Chain A
Amino acid sequence: MDKFNKPIIELKNISKSFNTEPILSNFNFTLYDNKFITILGPSGSGKTTIIKLIAGFESLDNGDIFLNGIKVNDLPANKREVNTVFQNYSLFPHMNVYDNIAFGLRMKKKSQDYIDKAVRDSLKMIKMEKFADRKPGELSGGQQQRVAVARAIVNKPLILLLDEPLSALDEKLRKEMQVELKSMQRDLGITFILVTHDQEEALSISDTVIVLNNGKIEQIGSPQEIYQTPVNSFVASFVGELNILDAKIEAVEENLVSVIVEEECKYQLENKNNFSTGEQIKILVRPENLRLSLEKDSIIPTKLKGKITQTKYRGALLDYVIILDNGKKVTATLLQNKKEGICEYKIGTEVFVEWTIGCEVLTK
């Protein structure tokens, strides 16, 4: 945190309700760097509301918004140095691509030469130089999306807001655009704030992820932090697949705890959360960290027994759904490659489950 720079964005104690239903209450967030930020959350979590408040399309009930240190609560949307890429692009249908992109610059009364150069440059950047005269109705979804981004970026805003910009695109196009957006952000050095509910998207392109739920920030961190060390079960289960095992703390020794997992197996794990003896906790493990085998282990049981009930072939990966003896369901994901050996268990096979120690997260 750099104390001498003003934060790019600061949201202080924001509250916002729609029709007496509170969306955000006492929401706080500060951003210093020019990075690619993603706000990730389920529908209704308030993520679109935050964008609208920053852009100025909605007004605050309570709290303050600062952009570059200046309070902008009452500043109307058309005066804020923020630009938005809308979910359905909202390209002006009666103007061609050139005029769409030039619009913001014309509003700022830039000179014709400046506008022409800026628009041509941005058309080059999105590789659509030949489309300047086309109308939005003549463009494909992906092309419209790029024009929408160009129209916003050409104004060199402080922050670029993107409201689920890729949700209408097909899988392949989406992945291409994700890469393009990422490199655009790097090249331009503008802060991008992207809103999405797609956790894979969030993980792959962000520098920082904010996980939002019911108007509250659950966790802020890098994609790695969010995925590998989620602070609670919401974050853990929202981002990626998750297995939740019940365990009881048997003993505490220095920084290790002995746990009985699913009343069957005994493990010694790192005690990061300062649990005490007798506590009931949950152990969160990602499916890719589970290991399956057909052999029982030695005298002290460390593997959970179960039966395979479903398999899902995913090309490079194979998912197994296993029902443990005590009824609990877990999912294991195994990599399929020639080196490890193609390992296919059939439905009904009895297997033994364990996980790579150290890859788990303990929580209440």
Chain B
Amino acid sequence: MMNKDLFKHFTILTIVAWLTVFVLIPNIGVVVTSFLEREEAHFVSFTFTLDNYKKLLSVMYIKVFLKSLAIALYVTILCLVFSYPFVYTISQTIKSIIIKDFLLILVIIPFWTSSLIRTYAMMIVLRSNGLLNNFLMYVGLIDEPIELLYNWVAVTIGLVYSLLPFMILPLYTAFEKLDRNYINAAQDLGAGKIDTLLKIIIPLTKSGIAAGCILVFLSTLGMFFIPELLGGSKEILVGNLIKNQFLIARDWPFGTAIGTVLTVIVVILMVIYARNTKNTDQLVV
């Protein structure tokens, strides 16, 4: 018979221990490493330096950060613009629960499918002798295949393609929580479809919009394989930069410096998100 206190300590200790060893310590390690010098044999030597951060302040690297943030912003906005009418239509016009359920599963399937596979599939469609080009030529819109791959357009399309479900699902949850009676009340008081949308539906689905946006934005910052596959070596984003430092240049300290800056950006965004969400003890997604 385990007593109450023992059980309590056991459960708490489990999570505290694991998080401390595998999250807190490693991240502290990252920050510490960013202030060290690189070394051939053991990757780092314990010499303090600010060189890594100084390196980051150069125009080239700042450009990478800005470009990454910009693409993340574009992708987020595109996802929102495409997803909102989608969820609005399904949630508001479809009355049958069975059909709604089915349509939801159709969104969950891509959500659970590996992003790598989906990106690869997009490669097939976008490449030179791929379907899209063949179709455009067949229809007569172009004479020669356009270089659809290996540029930032392809990267953006690929990111939107991968992350669309990440925007749809939180929006869908928010819409389902919306009480139909608010819409009835608005109509009762004379609001047309547009007024109802702007004044009632959008404000009341704000939490879903925020959750979807932060999910998509943060995911964009870290996924290096999508820019690499669809952008070739031309499109360097923050994720690719970090990866290259660790893999190719073997400059761990510099890599961790970039990582630390990324972490700081992420934390700032999360704080902003948490402040603006009512439930501050749970970043509900």
Contact = CB atoms under 8 A, between A and B. Distances in A.
Interface of A: 55-57, 76-79, 82-84, 86, 88, 90-94, 103-104, 107-108, 151-152, 155
Contacts of A77: 184, 187-188
B179 A90 contact: yes
A83 B188 contact: yes
A103 B189 contact: yes
A112 B186 CA distance: 19
A88 B204 contact: no
B147 interface: no
A92 B191 contact: no
A171 to B, nearest CB: 25
A108 B188 CA distance: 12
Give the size range of B's interface with the partner.
10 to 19
B185 A78 contact: no
Given A94-B203, A103-B186, A103-B199, 11 more contacts: A55-B184, A56-B187, A77-B184, A77-B187, A83-B189, A86-B184, A88-B181, A90-B179, A91-B185, A107-B189, A107-B190
* Nearest 8 pairs of A and B residues by beta carbon: A104-B189, A107-B190, A90-B181, A90-B185, A77-B187, A78-B187, A84-B188, A94-B203
B200 interface: yes
Interface in B187-228: 187-192, 195, 199-200, 203-204
Contact of B189 (A56, A57, A88, A151): A151
B192 A78 contact: yes
B197 to A, nearest CB: 13
Contacts of B188: 55, 57, 77-78, 82-84, 152
A152 B186 CA distance: 11
Nearest to A91: B185
B203 A107 contact: no
B182 interface: yes
Interface in B153-190: 179, 181-182, 184-190
A163 to B, nearest CB: 10
A92 B182 CA distance: 7
A104 B185 CA distance: 10
Contacts of B187: 56-57, 76-78
A92 B200 contact: yes
A77 B192 CA distance: 9
A107 B198 CA distance: 12
Contacts of B184: 55, 57, 77, 84, 86, 90
Overall SS of chain B's interface = helix
Contacts of A88: 181
A107 B195 CA distance: 8
A239 B122 CA distance: 69
A78 B191 CA distance: 6
16 contacts: A55-B184, A57-B184, A57-B187, A77-B184, A78-B187, A83-B188, A83-B189, A84-B188, A86-B181, A92-B185, A92-B200, A94-B203, A94-B204, A107-B191, A151-B189, A152-B189
A126 to B, nearest CB: 17
Nearest to B193: A78
B23 to A, nearest CB: 36
Residue from B184, B185, B200, B203 having most chain A Cβ neighbours under 10 A: B185
Contacts of A91: 185
Contacts of A103: 186, 189, 191, 199
A126 B13 CA distance: 56
A152 B189 CA distance: 7
A189 to B, nearest CB: 21
Contacts of A83: 188-189
Interface in B233-282: none
A86 B191 contact: no
Contacts of B185: 84, 86, 90-92
Nearest to A86: B181
B66 to A, nearest CB: 35
Residue from B179, B185, B188, B190 having most chain A Cβ neighbours under 10 A: B188
A90 B204 CA distance: 13
Residue from B186, B189, B203 having most chain A Cβ neighbours under 10 A: B189
A83 B185 CA distance: 9
Contacts of B192: 78
B198 to A, nearest CB: 12
A131 B214 CA distance: 36
A85 to B, nearest CB: 9
A52 B189 CA distance: 14
Nearest to A87: B181
A91 B184 CA distance: 11
B190 A90 contact: no
A173 B189 CA distance: 26
A168 B153 CA distance: 56
Contact of A155 (B190, B199, B200): B190
Contacts of B200: 92
A93 B106 CA distance: 32
A82 B189 CA distance: 9
A45 to B, nearest CB: 21
Contacts of B179: 90
Contacts of B186: 78, 92, 103
Contacts of A107: 189-191, 195
B189 A155 contact: yes
Nearest to A57: B184
A197 B204 CA distance: 32
A177 B200 CA distance: 29
